[in-house]
């Protein structure tokens, strides 16, 4: 065993070169040194990758215990002199003994565990929940409604907001206003959260050289100028200036040549007289175009501020956060300033982590690095017994649009190795270029494309330090570039279909994938493949609602929500399967009432299962799988099942369920979704679009500058929304923004192409027609076209198009073993958790534990009917927690057993006590309704005249007398708002039977300590003086 201490290392591993293998080798090496697993933190970006890493480590150790060859291989990977089965067994045993304390997780999960471990220091509820994609969409929609509702009370405000909407959507018109605005927010909100607020007003203003009066005088002088009188082209320029057609003025005619400072028009240099005439017009146009863009920028920021406030308020009311909120919280609350909580928290973390391993580091965002930088810096400062191990590939950095910073890895290495020479480097750097995935001929095409002499490729090579790839596999392979004459996408997709029919990879046990840039292209391609009879499935953002049987079931849910929905009724009743549900045809309204009641008393999964059961024998296997997915989604929907049936429909529409595995057919997905995967056969049919057109909808330009900090990382310094592109001719700041964006687009375009080409193991097929400039197709034709072809077998002769490049064995599939029949399966979520074993916990208690209980009270727990009474009490308690405000309309709905109030009450009861019988639910509801007859109850739940905000089942946690006090308040009313309360009223529901004054006195004495703890806790959490916090017991 080597006695040398572990070094800090950065592994730059190309595609297929064994990043996961390198990480697992490092982890095993640390285990063999006797380092406990809970002192090793291994981070990656997906739960699947975390699960794969855990599985890889365990399997390699288990194999080393049982097999001498596997043991020798592991020994060589670790560069050890010897490795015994006993040593491998001891390392595996250590890992298995610490399974509950393994620190192998995603970055997001690690941040969440920090927040949960230090919730009180960070000022967040201990019971913080993370919203899923559906929950996030619902909360965003609620925030949008809040913004528009607030503006609707004032006509000027609403008009201002309408103008903001027009500016946010950059003047586009659309009937689907909410969808367009949501897309605009998705584009801008991440930038709003990441960039400093001053960046939105930092773009330098341009002062117009003329006011209205002097402008008119300038125009008159230009009109009288001899050049204008004698020449039509100057009269045209003047006319554009008079009509304020500033964009045309800068883009056409001699004025454009003054704008771009070339001063040559029609191959003749402009004279000094001509320049003197045109320059004032150009300067005025410059100012008139910049100022609207600056106004749009301020309007965009103002709207995003309103949305952020509403978004935060809704999330707080629901007690939920997003992973981005967690990362932002850590950045703002844990900055390691002297005396702050940041140093304290990082000190405690630093004491429990000695080794940090981070995978896919090229996708790490600056925000994420900022959160882990203090911990990483402490580890890097230690040489010997602590180590940092980074693995990444700048060439595969394709997530810049969601914050990934490709330059971060190189910046960290350069910073910590500054001034070091050779072996003295603080972080040792290694490059891996030998691929264990792709065959020689595929890598030959990759090397040819990215070895091209073009300027953009040369810049990319310098940035990524690309080196020619080698193959470590000896199987046959093939790479082909084919051109199809027709320019329509469908022509290329039909060529794909014929190619797949000729090879039939699914029958040979070979995985095959069709990779496109966009989800729309994936759907279009798969539609044609399915029409041609090819078993094709999608992975990623597939829509389950495209299945007819699923649509039928969802139409019934829409009818349950809106019985007079004509479209849903037509879809359901005209289906050939409508007769499977007799009530749908004979007595639809009564049947829908029964369905709503079952949804209230049972679970969505049970109801959906009941609906799909008669469909299963009548549909094909693919549809049965879709129906099974629908049942699974119904089960996943339960945490949200407190509203209307249509909410489940929205949940399904926004879900992204996985289709069947690729082993039964061809999988279609985006290139981004395919990152990290490999397939025997890859087809690339969407290579036409120019990367300079990518993100055309996103018209927010930014400029970055080095921010103060340990690494001088780039930070957004200027933002400009929807400027006219021609402004770059006259404005140096905007020209710098355009150049920065084009560099980013160029880098990510080539990175995406690299990822696409390196997914293939055995066969790579590139299909183009008439590619645009700056497109992948153009680059492939320039780099590969005419480089050589091979004779095609007869079996592939019927595929349309001309082969521009071919290398390898065209019939590679005939000798393929099919050992890898599908794309690597995604591992399930790893059951891992952060445990701080070295930290002592403060004492915990709950307010309910402070009840004064006497012997006579305890005796009641064991009396006849005590269990039934307790169950009924639980139900009643849950039903009251569903009531925000009680008015005549809500009481009427409850008594008539219909409407939103009734649905919400029963849904809360079902969640609080699932699995009870209908009799129990009925008894609880009757008790609940009986309580509504009590004047004290209705008065306590009525909306006060003063402005206020109510929260039900409010979780809290705080420090009281150096002890953690945590629990839930049944009902809390904040005056005037929860964000800035001045007074707080607490109501605690109790279901004790009160039959006399003595019963009431004893009950009040019993609950008084609990109420005092509620008062103290909420006073501390919300910073309200105790005298302004009241607490009451409401016996229901």
pLDDT (tens digit, 9 = 90+) per residue, 330-367? Answer: 887 766 555 555 666 766 765 688 999 999 898 898 88
Is residue 804 domain-resident?
Answer: yes
What integer pLDDT is reported at residue 685 of this predicted model?
Answer: 95
Confidence band for 854, pLDDT divided at 50, 70 and 90: very low
Per-residue pLDDT for 471 more than 90?
Answer: yes
Using CA atoms, how far apart are residues 66 and 482, in angstroms rounded to an integer? 49
Strand 844-845 and strand 714-721: the pairing is: unpaired
What integer pLDDT is reported at residue 824 of this predicted model?
Answer: 34
Instruction: Please compute the mean of the pLDDT values over residues 157-180 and round it to a whole number.
Output: 53
* 201 and 151 housed in the same domain: yes
Per-residue pLDDT for 993 more than 90?
Answer: no
Per-residue pLDDT for 892 more than 80?
Answer: yes
Query: In the listed set 293, 320, 347, which residue is the last one of a domain according to the structure?
Result: 320
What integer pLDDT is reported at residue 900 of this predicted model?
Answer: 79
With a pLDDT cut of 70, the percent of the chain lying above it is 83
CATH number at residue 26: 3.40.50.300
Name the more confident of 985 and 335.
Answer: 985
- Residue 335 CA: distances (Å) to CA of 44, 121, 358: 23, 13, 21
DSSP code at position 726: G
71 Cβ contact partners less than 8 Å away, ≥ 6 residues apart: 63, 64, 65, 83, 84, 85, 88
What integer pLDDT is reported at residue 172 of this predicted model?
Answer: 47
Is residue 60 domain-resident?
Answer: no
Most confident option among 183-197, 400-414, 464-478, 837-851: 464-478
Per-residue pLDDT for 884 more than 90?
Answer: no
* 806 and 880 housed in the same domain: no
- Residue 457 CA: distances (Å) to CA of 435, 487, 774: 21, 26, 11
* 394 and 472 housed in the same domain: no
What integer pLDDT is reported at residue 969 of this predicted model?
Answer: 86
Strand 129-130 and strand 320-321: the pairing is: parallel
Is residue 838 domain-resident?
Answer: no
Instruction: Please compute the mean of the pLDDT values over residues 557-569 and round it to a whole number.
Output: 83
Name the more confident of 465 and 709.
Answer: 465
What integer pLDDT is reported at residue 587 of this predicted model?
Answer: 81
- Residue 437 CA: distances (Å) to CA of 170, 260, 363, 508: 45, 50, 21, 19
Instruction: Please compute the mean of the pLDDT values over residues 687-703 and round it to a whole number.
Output: 71
Per-residue pLDDT for 968 more than 70?
Answer: yes
Residue 425 three-state SS:
coil
Confidence band for 442, pLDDT divided at 50, 70 and 90: very high
Strand 1029-1035 and strand 983-990: the pairing is: parallel
Per-residue pLDDT for 110 more than 60?
Answer: yes
Per-residue pLDDT for 167 more than 80?
Answer: no
Using CA atoms, how far apart are residues 42 and 405, in angstroms rounded to an integer? 20
What integer pLDDT is reported at residue 662 of this predicted model?
Answer: 46
Confidence band for 982, pLDDT divided at 50, 70 and 90: very high
What integer pLDDT is reported at residue 865 of this predicted model?
Answer: 45
Using CA atoms, how far apart are residues 993 and 1003, in angstroms rounded to an integer? 10
What integer pLDDT is reported at residue 190 of this predicted model?
Answer: 84
Please say whether the dihedral angle defined by the alpha carbons of residues 989, 992, 993 and 995, taken in this order, is positive or negative. Answer: negative
Instruction: Please compute the mean of the pLDDT values over residues 675-684 and round it to a whole number.
Output: 93
Confidence band for 696, pLDDT divided at 50, 70 and 90: very low
Using CA atoms, how far apart are residues 141 and 912, in angstroms rounded to an integer? 27
Per-residue pLDDT for 576 more than 50?
Answer: yes
What integer pLDDT is reported at residue 659 of this predicted model?
Answer: 47
Per residue in 621-653, is it b (16+ CB within 10 Å) or e — as a string? ebbbbbbebbbebbebbeebbbebbbbbbbbbe
- Residue 801 CA: distances (Å) to CA of 250, 287, 492, 524, 795: 44, 52, 9, 20, 15
DSSP code at position 944: P
Per-residue pLDDT for 707 more than 70?
Answer: no
What's the order of all strands across the beta sheet hosting 104-106? 104-106, 40-44, 355-358, 387-392, 8-13, 427-432
- Residue 930 CA: distances (Å) to CA of 287, 687, 1036: 71, 68, 9
Concatenate the DSSP letters of all residues of 390-401 into one string. EEE-GGG---GG
Using CA atoms, how far apart are residues 187 and 918, in angstroms rounded to an integer? 48
What integer pLDDT is reported at residue 173 of this predicted model?
Answer: 43
Is residue 856 domain-resident?
Answer: yes
* 671 and 653 housed in the same domain: no
Query: In the listed set 815, 833, 868, which residue is the last one of a domain according to the structure?
Result: 815
* 865 and 1003 housed in the same domain: yes
Query: In the listed set 775, 796, 815, which residue is the last one of a domain according to the structure?
Result: 815
Instruction: Please compute the mean of the pLDDT values over residues 790-815 and round it to a whole number.
Output: 84
Is residue 706 domain-resident?
Answer: no
Per-residue pLDDT for 212 more than 70?
Answer: yes
* 242 and 115 housed in the same domain: no
Give the range among 327-331, 429-433, 695-699, 991-995 with minimum mean pLDDT: 695-699
Phi, psi of 214, deg, nearest 5 = -70, -25
Most confident option among 408-422, 645-659, 829-843: 408-422
Give the range among 375-389, 487-501, 655-669, 982-996 with minimum mean pLDDT: 655-669
Per residue in 364-401, is it b (16+ CB within 10 Å) or e — as a string? bbbbbbbbbbbbbbbbbeeeeebbbbbbbbbbbbbbbe
Strand 844-845 and strand 963-975: the pairing is: parallel
pLDDT digits (tens, 9 = 90+) for 920-947: 788 888 888 888 888 888 888 899 999 9
What integer pLDDT is reported at residue 914 of this predicted model?
Answer: 66
Residue 984 three-state SS:
strand
Residues 545/697, Cβ–Cβ less than 8 Å: no
Strand 760-768 and strand 679-684: the pairing is: parallel
Confidence band for 3, pLDDT divided at 50, 70 and 90: low
Identify any residues that bridge with 954 across adjacent strands, giving them in sequence order: 969
Is residue 906 domain-resident?
Answer: yes
Name the more confident of 143 and 319.
Answer: 143
Using CA atoms, how far apart are residues 785 and 779, in angstroms rounded to an integer? 9
* 275 and 379 housed in the same domain: no
Which range of residues forms the domain containing residue 234? 146-320
* 183 and 257 housed in the same domain: yes
What integer pLDDT is reported at residue 989 of this predicted model?
Answer: 87
Using CA atoms, how far apart are residues 165 and 172, in angstroms rounded to an integer? 10
Using CA atoms, how far apart are residues 488 and 477, in angstroms rounded to an integer? 29
As a whole number, the mean pLDDT across the chain is 82
* 849 and 935 housed in the same domain: yes
* 680 and 624 housed in the same domain: no
* 184 and 291 housed in the same domain: yes
Instruction: Please compute the mean of the pLDDT values over residues 856-865 and round it to a whole number.
Output: 38
Is residue 346 domain-resident?
Answer: yes
What integer pLDDT is reported at residue 204 of this predicted model?
Answer: 94
Using CA atoms, how far apart are residues 656 and 540, in angstroms rounded to an integer? 6
Per-residue pLDDT for 269 more than 60?
Answer: yes
Q: Does the predicted TM-score (pTM) go above 0.75?
A: no
Burial (Cβ within 10 Å: 0-12, 13-18, ≥19) of residue 407 = middle
> Cα angle vertex 1026, ends 1021, 1029, to 5°?
80
Provide the number of structural domains found in the chain.
5
Confidence band for 842, pLDDT divided at 50, 70 and 90: very low
Name the more confident of 32 and 655.
Answer: 32
What integer pLDDT is reported at residue 841 of this predicted model?
Answer: 42
What integer pLDDT is reported at residue 827 of this predicted model?
Answer: 35
What region, left, alpha or beta, does residue 337 occupy, with left being phi > 0 and alpha being psi -120 to 50 degrees? beta
Name the more confident of 360 and 698.
Answer: 360
* 768 and 908 housed in the same domain: no
Q: Which residue has the tokens 């007074």?
A: 983
Give the range among 285-299, 556-570, 573-587, 856-870 with minimum mean pLDDT: 856-870
Per-residue pLDDT for 91 more than 90?
Answer: yes
Using CA atoms, how far apart are residues 505 and 511, in angstroms rounded to an integer? 7
The full length of the chain comes to: 1036
Is residue 481 domain-resident?
Answer: yes
């Amino acid at each position: 065993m080597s006695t040398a201490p572990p070094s800090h290392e950065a592994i730059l591993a190309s595609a297929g070169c064994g990043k996961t293998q390198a990480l697992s080798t490092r982890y095993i090496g640390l285990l063999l040194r006797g380092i406990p697993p809970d002192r090793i933190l291994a981070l990656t970006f997906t739960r699947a990758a975390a699960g794969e890493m855990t599985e890889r480590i365990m399997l390699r150790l288990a194999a080393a215990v049982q097999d001498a060859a596997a043991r020798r291989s592991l020994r060589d990977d670790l560069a050890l002199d010897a490795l015994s089965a006993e040593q491998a067994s001891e390392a595996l045993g250590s890992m298995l003994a610490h399974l509950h304390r393994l620190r192998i997780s995603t970055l997001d999960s690690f941040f969440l565990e920090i927040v949960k471990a230090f919730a009180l220091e960070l000022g967040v509820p201990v019971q913080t929940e993370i919203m899923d994609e559906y929950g996030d969409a619902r909360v965003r929609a609620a925030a949008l409604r809040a913004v528009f509702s607030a503006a609707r009370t004032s006509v000027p405000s609403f008009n201002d907001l309408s103008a903001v909407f027009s500016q946010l959507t950059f003047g586009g018109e659309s009937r689907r206003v909410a969808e367009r605005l949501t897309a605009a927010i998705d584009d801008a909100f991440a930038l709003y959260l990441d960039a400093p607020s001053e960046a939105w007003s930092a773009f330098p203003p341009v002062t117009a050289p003329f006011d209205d009066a002097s402008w008119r005088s300038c125009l008159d002088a230009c009109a009288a100028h001899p050049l204008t009188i004698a020449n039509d082209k100057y009269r045209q320029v003047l006319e554009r200036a008079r009509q304020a057609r500033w964009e045309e003025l800068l883009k056409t005619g001699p004025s454009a040549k003054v704008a771009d400072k070339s001063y040559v028009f029609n191959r003749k240099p402009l004279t000094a007289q001509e320049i003197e005439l045109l320059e004032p017009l150009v300067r005025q146009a410059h100012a008139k175009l910049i100022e609207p863009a600056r106004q749009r920028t301020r309007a965009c920021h103002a709207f995003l501020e309103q949305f952020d406030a509403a978004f935060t308020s809704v999330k707080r009311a629901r007690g939920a956060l997003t992973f981005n909120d967690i990362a932002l919280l850590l950045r703002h609350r844990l900055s390691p300033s002297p005396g702050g909580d940041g140093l304290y928290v990082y000190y405690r973390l630093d004491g429990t982590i000695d080794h940090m391993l981070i995978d896919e580091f090229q996708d790490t965002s600056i925000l994420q690095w900022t959160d882990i930088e203090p911990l990483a810096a402490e580890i890097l400062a230690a040489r010997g017994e602590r180590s940092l191990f980074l693995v990444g590939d700048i060439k595969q950095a394709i997530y810049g649009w969601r914050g990934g910073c490709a330059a971060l890895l190189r910046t960290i290495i350069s910073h910590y190795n500054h001034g070091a020479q050779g072996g003295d480097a603080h972080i040792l750097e290694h490059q891996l270029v030998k691929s264990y995935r792709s065959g020689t001929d595929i890598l030959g095409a990759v090397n040819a494309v990215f070895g091209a002499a073009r300027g953009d490729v040369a810049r990319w090579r310098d940035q990524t330090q690309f080196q020619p790839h080698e193959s470590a596999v000896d199987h046959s392979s093939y790479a082909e570039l084919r051109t199809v004459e027709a320019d329509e996408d469908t022509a290329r997709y039909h060529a794909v279909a014929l190619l797949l029919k000729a090879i039939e990879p699914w029958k040979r046990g070979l995985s095959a994938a069709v990779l496109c840039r966009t989800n729309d292209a994936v759907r279009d391609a798969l539609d044609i493949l399915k029409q041609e009879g090819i078993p094709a499935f999608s992975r990623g953002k597939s829509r389950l609602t495209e299945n007819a049987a699923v649509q039928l079931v969802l139409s019934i849910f829409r009818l349950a929500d809106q019985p007079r929905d004509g479209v849903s009724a037509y879809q359901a009743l005209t289906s050939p399967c409508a007769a499977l549900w007799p009530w749908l045809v004979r007595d639809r309204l009564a049947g829908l009432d029964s369905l709503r009641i079952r949804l209230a008393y049972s679970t969505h999964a049970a109801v959906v299962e009941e609906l799909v059961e008669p469909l299963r024998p009548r549909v094909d296997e693919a549809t049965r799988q879709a129906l099974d997915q629908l049942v699974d989604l119904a089960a996943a929907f339960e945490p949200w099942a407190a509203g209307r049936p249509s909410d489940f429909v929205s949940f399904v529409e926004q879900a992204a369920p996985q289709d069947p595995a690729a082993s039964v057919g061809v999988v279609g997905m985006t290139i981004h979704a395919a990152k990290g995967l490999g397939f025997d056969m890859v087809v690339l049919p969407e290579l036409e679009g120019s990367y300079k057109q990518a993100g055309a909808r996103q018209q927010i330009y930014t400029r970055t500058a080095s921010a103060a900090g340990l690494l001088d990382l780039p930070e957004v310094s200027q933002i400009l929304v929807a400027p006219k592109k021609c402004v770059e001719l006259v404005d140096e700041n905007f020209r710098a923004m355009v150049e920065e964006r084009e560099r980013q687009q160029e880098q990510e375009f080539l990175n995406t192409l690299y990822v696409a080409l390196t997914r293939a193991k055995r066969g790579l097929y590139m299909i183009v027609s008439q590619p645009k400039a700056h497109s992948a197709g153009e680059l492939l034709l320039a780099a590969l076209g005419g480089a050589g072809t091979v004779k095609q077998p007869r079996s592939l002769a019927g595929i349309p198009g001309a082969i521009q490049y071919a290398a390898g064995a065209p019939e590679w599939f005939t000798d393929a073993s099919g050992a890898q029949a599908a794309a690597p399966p995604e591992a399930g979520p790893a059951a891992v958790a952060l445990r701080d074993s070295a930290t002592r916990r403060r004492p915990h208690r709950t307010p309910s534990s402070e009840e004064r209980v006497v012997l006579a009270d305890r005796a009641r727990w064991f009396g006849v009917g005590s269990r039934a009474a307790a169950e009924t009490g639980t139900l009643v308690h849950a039903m009251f927690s569903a009531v925000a405000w009680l008015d005549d309309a809500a009481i009427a709905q409850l008594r008539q057993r219909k409407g939103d109030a009734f649905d919400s009450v029963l849904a809360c009861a079902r969640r609080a006590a699932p699995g009870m019988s209908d009799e129990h639910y009925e008894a609880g509801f009757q008790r609940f309704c009986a309580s509504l007859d009590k004047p004290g109850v209705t008065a306590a739940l009525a909306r006060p005249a003063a402005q206020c905000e109510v929260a039900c089942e409010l979780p809290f946690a705080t420090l009281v007398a150096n002890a953690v006090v945590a629990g839930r308040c049944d009902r809390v009313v904040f005056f005037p708002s929860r964000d800035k309360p001045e007074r707080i009223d607490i109501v605690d529901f109790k279901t004790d039977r009160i039959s006399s004054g003595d019963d009431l006195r004893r009950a009040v004495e019993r609950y008084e300590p609990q109420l005092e703890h509620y008062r103290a806790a909420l006073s501390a959490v919300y910073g309200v003086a105790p005298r302004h916090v009241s607490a009451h017991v409401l016996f229901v």
